[in-house]
Structure 1
Amino acid sequence: MSIRNAVHPVFREARATVLPNPADRHGPLPPLMLALTVVTGLVDSFSYLVLGHVFVANMTGNVVFAGFAIAGAAGFSLAASLAALAAFGVGALLGGRIARRARAHRGRVLHLTLVVETVLFLAAYVLARYGAPLDDTATRYQLIGLLGLAMGIQNATARALAVPDLTTTVLTLTITGMASDSRAAGGSGGRTGRRALAVLAMFGGALVGAFAVRHGSPALPLLLATVLLAGSALDAFALTRSDARWTAPL
């Protein structure tokens, strides 16, 4: 198989993710899930670089960091890791309730989640930008709580919507799928384009967030994420009135 023949399906899948067919089972959801993946990169760049060695979206990292902290490794806080895990868990519980409340319509599930996330991120931005200094302990934990809550809701919603390879917060299985399902591994090579976009979306969010922290304002990643969430919420509002096949729960 030529390189051109191998690459073409990847670009076709990527294009179908960004500009999905309305008749597809997941309809217009994929590009919105990509936007949420960018938010993950932005918010974890803020939490790790500004709040210390803690994630508010990547809970696997916090479990590992908790182990480091217990072992006495420098720069890691057991309390911060546990606070993030607790906030994320509460958010996931709330996200599950949101999904079940609007479970008859996937568009409404996503829209409600986006509205709640936008409010939480806006509150976090205002606190980070205009509140006490970011090295203040109370401010740090308030931000961990707000952002962990938001990301727990997002993760629960992504799980409920179940758009393939767009979990928005976890890439381990996505990267595994790219390799294990590739033609080189004897697989079909399916969904490589979508998986690559998910990786690039989180990488791009993290890159922009890190540049914003280092060369702009520490709170700037939160502002960017808030704007992206607000725009996605407005876009998703139109989806709440659709009765297409993709709106039905899986």
Structure 2
Amino acid sequence: MQQPLQKYSLLLLCLAAGMVDVIGYLGLGHVLTANMTGNIVLLGIAIARAQEFVVLRSLIALAGFIAGNAIAARMIGINQTKNGWSPRVTRVFVVESILLLLFAIVMISPYSEQLAYLLIAVLAAAMGMQTTAARRIGIAGISTTVLTNNLAAVVEDAVSILQRLRHASLGSLMKALSNDSYLRVFAVIIYLIGVIVAALMFHNIPMVAVWIPVLVVGGVTLLALYRFNDQ
């Protein structure tokens, strides 16, 4: 039962990442704190247009994300375990949950505007840590913050189905598809759901929206502490 729970937990992390990107974009001056590909595009546009404040926000997000990557890599180390979701990985999610909690507290405080740059750095660091931890877990090649990789894998799976249709029925091919193929499709869909939910909530009830990623990642972390660390 442990492996399916790990897969569902990874999908929940995709949901949280989609929400975090929207919260950062709408609440912190149009900066992406989870999707660094998009953030680098925004950085390049800002440089071309000489938009100093946008450049600074994007650079802070990039630096925070890289710092989160480095911290998570140091915490996990290089040792591999049979269970990709090791106790060291779970400790990374504990720190990420704390960062998201701090972000939510400051975000709803009267000082959120004055501390906007700090909020960007904290949120990006949390997502950097999540990205590295998800990569080390290594389920279905899913990245919880980089939608491009997941989408490419889905397209490759679809092409494989079409190429084999000449020799088998569609029904048999769908049955032959691995669970990983379905998981990659769900990862894309759930990330999109996270984006839509966050956009709707942040527009109407922003003070509630910032707590959803905290609850999602915190819930996954608690589950991992009690269920995923026995190997």
TM range (shorter): 0.7 to 0.9
Residue 225 of structure 2: aligned partner:
237
Distance 1:27 1:161 in 2: 13
Pairing 1:57–2:46 present: no
Whole-angstrom CA distance in 1 between matches of 2:133 and 2:187: 17
In the TM superposition, residue 95 of structure 1 has moved relative to its aligned partner by: 0.6
Output one character per residue of 1:135-188: Cα deviation in whole Å (capped at 9) or x when no partner.
Answer: x3x421111011011011111111111111421011212212222222124497
Distance (whole Å) between structure 2 residues aligned to residue 75 and residue 100 of structure 1: 37
Q: 2:96 is matched with which residue?
A: 117
Counterparts in 2 of 1:37-52, with a 5 A limit?
37-52=14-29
Match of 2:77, SS state, is helix
Whole-Å Cα distance in 1 between the matches of residues 190 and 79 of structure 2? 27
Question: In structure 2, what is the equivalent of residue 99 of structure 1?
Answer: 76
CA contact (8 A) 1:52 1:75 kept: no
TM-score, scaled to structure 1: 0.78
Deviation at 1:197, TM superposition (A): 0.7
| Counterpart check, 1:220 vs 2:197 | no
Q: Give the number of equivalent residue pairs.
A: 216
1:203 aligns with 2:192: yes
* Cα offsets for 1:38-85 (capped at 9, x unmatched): 110110010111112210000001111111001117798111111000
Secondary structure of the residue aligned to 2:108 is helix
Please give the alpha-carbon distance, in whole angstroms, between the structure 2 residues aligned to 1:75 and 1:195.
38
More deviation, 106-115/145-154: 106-115
Looking at structure 2, the residues matched to 107 and 152 of structure 1 have their Cα atoms a distance apart, in angstroms, of 18
Structure 2: 5+ residue runs without aligned partners?
A: 166-172
Q: What's the % identity of the aligned pairs?
A: 29
Q: Report the more deviating stretch, 184-193 or 155-164.
A: 184-193
User: Do structure 1's residue 192 and structure 2's residue 171 form an aligned pair?
Assistant: no
Superposed, 1:5-20 pairs within 5 Å as none
1:158 and 2:130 aligned: no
Does the CA-based 8 Å contact 2:31-2:57 persist in structure 1? yes
> 1:83 is matched with which residue?
60
The Cα offsets for residues 113-153 of structure 1, whole Å up to 9 and x where unpaired, read as 22111110110001000141x4x3x4211110110110111
Which aligned runs of 4 or more in structure 1 are off by greater than 6 angstroms? 73-76
State the distance in 2 between where 1:88 and 1:227 align: 21
Counterpart secondary structure, 1:77: helix
